[in-house]
Amino acid sequence: MLSCLMAEAAIIVIPARMASTRFPDKPLALIRGMTMIERMWRIGKAARGASEVVIATDDERLKRFAEGFGATVLMTSPDCVTGTDRVAEVSRMPDRDHAIFFSLQGDAVLTPPWVIEKVLEAMLADPSIQMATPAVLLTGEARSDFVALKKRGSSSGTAVVFNQKGDALYFSKTLIPYSRDEESPIYRHIGLYGYRKETLQCLGELPEGRLERSEKLEQLRALENGIGIRVIPVDYRGRTHGSVDRPEDVAVVEAAIEREGELVWSV
């Protein structure tokens, strides 16, 4: 179990944006009677290993709403292009002296708290890890479905390969590794990140990289600039992976919660 002393080194930041072109006011969308933003806050609060969970937004209406259910909300610039930019802005605030900043996407409503815990646990135990992210080993039907998806040319879902130490070699929207042996392991990347404070701030100063631009994968900026990313294998314990990108995704995640039960009931 993570000690209280260790926990004080980490903070979970939930970047939330109301002005999404694909799904306006998405953080306030209801999922089985609870808003998306409250669900994400409850998931963050249920994860052990962080001393604080905050919501970062540029919207006053969302701030008032989230404070109504007990969340700490930090106002950030409307000029933030990505969620990572918003988390980086939080890291530069004078009263946020945490060593580790965990970026919990504001729409990743099916994220089990124990997935967050595994990443934080690894970073708190090993100060040499500058950046960490989870991945799931695909087996059975999940593996077959992912392979079929990629063979159809879909850009949905990201694969990752890593070395024996666990450091990422590459992330891709295509199927990696290419294999003549169908038993080769395939890891699906989960787009959540833990950062050392200095690494997070450094990334924000770096220009978009060639591979990042080609794959449309923000994490490749780190690899292109020699910043290591530790890949943490995690187990979803039979639960579905998914998030809400568009309004039609709400029904999909609601169905998953109906089948599998709520991740968090209370905090």
At 97 the pLDDT is 87
Query: Considering the domain boundaries, does residue 254 fall inside one?
Result: yes
| Count of structural domains, the chain | 1
d(CA 223, CA 210): 11
Query: Considering the domain boundaries, does residue 82 fall inside one?
Result: yes
pLDDT in tens, the chain (267 residues): 444 444 459 999 999 999 888 899 999 999 999 999 999 999 999 999 999 999 999 999 999 999 999 999 999 999 988 889 999 999 999 888 899 999 999 999 999 999 999 999 999 999 999 999 999 999 999 999 999 999 999 999 999 999 999 999 999 999 999 877 667 899 999 999 999 999 999 998 999 999 999 999 999 999 999 999 999 999 999 999 999 999 999 999 999 999 999 998 765
In terms of DSSP bridges, do strands 100-103 and 193-196 run parallel, antiparallel, or are they unpaired?
antiparallel
Query: Considering the domain boundaries, does residue 71 fall inside one?
Result: yes
- Using CB atoms within 10 A of its CB, is residue 211 exposed (0-12), middle (13-18) or buried (19+)? middle
- CB-CB neighbours of 139 under 10 Å: 10
Query: Considering the domain boundaries, does residue 267 fall inside one?
Result: no
Ramachandran region, residue 97 (left: φ > 0; alpha: ψ -120 to 50; beta: rest):
alpha
At 5 the pLDDT is 41
Q: What is the CATH number of the domain that holds 230?
A: 3.90.550.10
**Among 22, 18, 16, which residue's Cα sits nearest to residue 105?**
16
At 222 the pLDDT is 96
Query: Considering the domain boundaries, does residue 265 fall inside one?
Result: no
Q: Which residue range forms the structural domain that includes residue 42?
A: 4-260
Query: Considering the domain boundaries, does residue 266 fall inside one?
Result: no
What's at 245, amino acid-wise? D
Query: Considering the domain boundaries, does residue 196 fall inside one?
Result: yes
